Amino acid sequence: MRKRSHINIIMLVLMSGLFVYFFATFIKQQDEISLIKAEMRSLEQKIEKEKEIQEELLEQANQIDSDEFIERIAREKLGMVKEGERLYIDAD
């Protein structure tokens, strides 16, 4: 009978050790999952920002061929004026 008692104690110790191991592994994995989720949220935000930039660039690309865009660039960047217009330069 005493032999059976030792076996039960050994089994209890082994089972307790396994429980502690699995619990520690579970906690560690939860921490890793939390870090990965935070990284995913950050990357999703970056993707949204890049999509907005892409939309703005596509809109600009569509405007490049328009006469209004060409005229605006000629006036703003090159200082050109239409025939009959006067260009005033502020001395200040």
pLDDT tens digits along 26-75: 999 999 999 999 999 999 999 999 999 999 999 888 888 888 888 888 88
Alpha-carbon span 73 to 71, nearest angstrom: 5
Q: Can you say whether the dihedral through the CA atoms of 54, 63, 87, 77 is positive or negative?
A: positive
At 78, list the tokens.
Answer: 């090159």
DSSP 30-63: HHHHHHHHHHHHHHHHHHHHHHHHHHHHHHHHHH
Predicted confidence (pLDDT) at residue 1 exceeds the cutoff of 90: no
Annotated domain spans of the chain: 2-76
pTM above 0.75, yes or no: no
Secondary structure percentages of the chain, helix, strand, coil, to 5? 80, 0, 20
Q: How many residues does the chain have?
A: 92
